[in-house]
Chain A
């Protein structure tokens, strides 16, 4: 029985690995190969090895295109991501905490609006109209508040579920020891939320950094372009230069990848204790 099981494990594993090579590794390898080719070779779009590796030449070429628009876009994207995720974490943690701890007749109402924020698609043109009315349209600030607002609901759900796993007795002990509401939250509860904070940061940072639709609507113009917008414009401008297009894809995948490699284990921890067991 056990040898049969082990044999099956091997066979299933080998099949899975073969399938994964075709389905996942080939597309990744394709990107890396194209990014290392000369424009002429890259335009063939085939899987052949480059006859001449020009990986670093392509890298500098991408960074120099349009007076370094890629670098500007990187700065914009990083600023947008850092600030909007910071706002999401602090605001959503506060809501998730009080919403889970305090029972009032308002709870169902707030829960309803949290869920509505997750489900309802944002009204695009009225939002632009609003931003213009407030005089902040075409500013990075408006991008930050928009991304933060659209990410609030999901973050609140993660925080609320995780707060439920922290025993109330802890709050009571802190209160008996003389902690006020502010100290209770920031010095007792917030440190315990670390796993879910990491989850929220990684999930939302990847979402904001990779977002295309909201910057497309709310951050028009090359000054405010994010990396996804520049990648999209790259396609129409440099049709013959597939090598640079794929180098750009490679380049802008690095930040999410680094984030994930660093926090890999903790993301799963935050997800399991937070979202699933609820």
Chain B
């Protein structure tokens, strides 16, 4: 996935083939194969995206729109609650992505080593990926309920403080991020496992022959050679994290107050209020945020891969 630009250049384009049969090749790989996908993409993705750059500058009721310049954006950045959502998006995206990378790599190393109960562990780590985000949100909302929840009952029984996981404004976003990691770490682990399994076994044998420690083997073999997998995990989890909505809406609806709002939940709230122009401005801001973060990161990751 991350190797987007790489195979394009590295593929052997036979010199004899190139000269002789340019016409023939054109007919063998027909360009109209693109058309169905392009049609969908243009109509249902590109058109609304371009339209959003106009409607974000309007007061809009879906039937008629009045151009109001930058008013929506001014309102967005003057309202402290909306600014909150803006900042939370970064915090949430980067923290969930970082934890998934670290935990996913650790779990993948564990689950590719001959550990006791490996099949069971693999299954159990991956299972939450299959449960819907709404379902996962509800499970933890009940497990972490401050008064009736099981977790706090256990904490109280052993004399520990009982935090208000989803109800304490300082904790809500962090708790949601934890739930997100619980659900998503299985995918990260799977991708890392695929990367680690692809590393030739000879490298490990040679390193052990030279008396390298486990830490050294990890630093010098596993880590650098699972870099493509790491790129994939970083990109996918960051895109998912910055656009995250389902898990937040299932657990706190952005609350308490606005303590766990992100841009995606603000977009939905403005949409519910019928403030379509403001909602679309939120969409444009999310677009800019995600693009500004993802473009340099994916460029950096792809460049690194070329060097390898």
Measured CB to CB, the residues of A under 8 A from B are 9-10, 12-14, 16-17, 20, 23-25, 27-28, 30-31, 34, 44-47, 87, 90-92, 94-95, 97-103, 107-108, 110-111, 113-115, 117-130, 132, 145-146, 148-150, 152, 154, 156-158, 160-161, 164, 168, 171, 175, 181, 184-185, 206, 209-213, 216-217, 227-228, 231-232, 235, 242, 245-246, 249, 252-253, 256-257, 260, 268, 271-272, 275-278
Chain B: minimal CB distance from A96 (Å): 9
Are the C-beta atoms of A228 and B132 separated by less than 8 Å? yes
29 contacts between A and B (CB under 8 A): A13-B117, A17-B121, A20-B124, A98-B29, A102-B26, A107-B8, A110-B34, A111-B4, A120-B45, A120-B287, A123-B48, A123-B52, A125-B271, A125-B280, A126-B51, A126-B52, A126-B55, A130-B43, A130-B48, A130-B51, A157-B4, A185-B33, A210-B132, A213-B246, A252-B132, A275-B191, A276-B191, A276-B198, A278-B2
Q: Considering the chains assembled together, what is the distance between the CA atoms of A123 and B52 in angstroms?
A: 6
Q: Is there a chain A Cβ closer than 8 Å to B257's Cβ? A: no
Are the C-beta atoms of A9 and B1 separated by less than 8 Å? no
Q: Considering the chains assembled together, what is the distance between the CA atoms of A121 and B195 in angstroms?
A: 28
Chain B: minimal CB distance from A273 (Å): 9
Are the C-beta atoms of B37 and A95 separated by less than 8 Å? yes
Cβ contacts B13-56/A at 8 Å (1 or 0 each):
11000000000111111110110110011011101110110010
Q: Which residues of A contact B145 (CB under 8 A)?
A: 45
Q: Which residues of B contact A256 (CB under 8 A)?
A: 130-132
Known: A94-B37, A212-B132, A256-B130. A20 touches B125 (CB 8 A): yes
| The one of A90, A102, A148, A158 that contacts B1, using a Cβ cutoff of 8 Å | A158
Are the C-beta atoms of A16 and B48 separated by less than 8 Å? no
Q: Which residues of A contact B250 (CB under 8 A)?
A: 212, 232
Q: Is there a chain A Cβ closer than 8 Å to B7's Cβ? A: yes
Q: Considering the chains assembled together, what is the distance between the CA atoms of A235 and B250 in angstroms?
A: 9
Cβ-closest chain A residue relative to B55: A126
Name the prevailing secondary structure of the B interface residues. Answer: helix
Cβ-closest chain A residue relative to B8: A107
Are the C-beta atoms of A95 and B246 separated by less than 8 Å? no
> Closest 10 interchain pairs by CB?
A13-B116, A278-B3, A123-B52, A210-B132, A126-B48, A94-B33, A102-B29, A126-B51, A249-B135, A272-B194
Are the C-beta atoms of A278 and B6 separated by less than 8 Å? yes
Chain A: minimal CB distance from B274 (Å): 10
- With A17-B120, A217-B268, A228-B134 given, can you name 19 additional A-B contacts, CB distance below 8 Å? A9-B115, A10-B116, A17-B121, A24-B124, A94-B37, A95-B34, A97-B33, A119-B294, A121-B264, A124-B283, A125-B55, A129-B55, A149-B40, A209-B132, A242-B142, A245-B138, A249-B132, A253-B132, A278-B1
Q: Is there a chain A Cβ closer than 8 Å to B291's Cβ? A: yes
Cβ-closest chain A residue relative to B294: A119
Known: A111-B4, A120-B287, A130-B44. A30 touches B150 (CB 8 A): yes
Q: Considering the chains assembled together, what is the distance between the CA atoms of A67 and B12 in angstroms?
A: 61
Q: Which residues of A contact B27 (CB under 8 A)?
A: 181
Q: Is there a chain A Cβ closer than 8 Å to B74's Cβ? A: no
Q: Considering the chains assembled together, what is the distance between the CA atoms of A212 and B133 in angstroms?
A: 8
B110, B124, B193, B243 — most chain A CB neighbours (10 Å) = B124
Are the C-beta atoms of B41 and A117 separated by less than 8 Å? yes
Are the C-beta atoms of A98 and B30 separated by less than 8 Å? yes
Which B residues between 246 and 274 are near A, CB-CB below 8 angstroms? 246, 249-250, 264, 267-268, 271
Q: Is there a chain A Cβ closer than 8 Å to B82's Cβ? A: no
Q: Is there a chain A Cβ closer than 8 Å to B175's Cβ? A: no
Q: Which residues of B contact A125 (CB under 8 A)?
A: 52, 55, 60, 62, 271, 276, 279-280, 283
Q: Is there a chain A Cβ closer than 8 Å to B188's Cβ? A: no
Total number of B residues with any Cβ neighbor in A under 8 Å: 101
Measured CB to CB, the residues of B under 8 A from A are 1-8, 11-14, 24-31, 33-34, 36-37, 40-41, 43-45, 47-49, 51-52, 55, 60, 62, 110, 113-118, 120-121, 124-135, 138-140, 142-143, 145, 148-150, 153, 182, 190-191, 193-195, 197-198, 228-229, 232, 239, 243, 245-246, 249-250, 264, 267-268, 271, 276, 279-280, 283-284, 286-287, 290-291, 294-295, 298
Chain A: minimal CB distance from B29 (Å): 4
Are the C-beta atoms of A9 and B114 separated by less than 8 Å? yes
Q: Considering the chains assembled together, what is the distance between the CA atoms of A91 and B75 in angstroms?
A: 41
| The one of B110, B116, B139 that contacts A14, using a Cβ cutoff of 8 Å | B116
Are the C-beta atoms of A91 and B36 separated by less than 8 Å? yes
Chain A: minimal CB distance from B162 (Å): 14
Are the C-beta atoms of A276 and B34 separated by less than 8 Å? no
Chain A: minimal CB distance from B176 (Å): 15
Known: A126-B52, A149-B40, A175-B28. A231 touches B283 (CB 8 A): no
Chain A: minimal CB distance from B251 (Å): 11
Q: Considering the chains assembled together, what is the distance between the CA atoms of A271 and B229 in angstroms?
A: 11
Q: Considering the chains assembled together, what is the distance between the CA atoms of A235 and B145 in angstroms?
A: 15
Q: Considering the chains assembled together, what is the distance between the CA atoms of A44 and B267 in angstroms?
A: 35
Q: Considering the chains assembled together, what is the distance between the CA atoms of A245 and B24 in angstroms?
A: 60
Cβ-closest chain B residue relative to A248: B135
Q: Considering the chains assembled together, what is the distance between the CA atoms of A225 and B196 in angstroms?
A: 41
| The one of A99, A127, A278 that contacts B44, using a Cβ cutoff of 8 Å | A127
Are the C-beta atoms of A171 and B28 separated by less than 8 Å? yes
Q: Which residues of B contact A275 (CB under 8 A)?
A: 1, 191, 194, 232
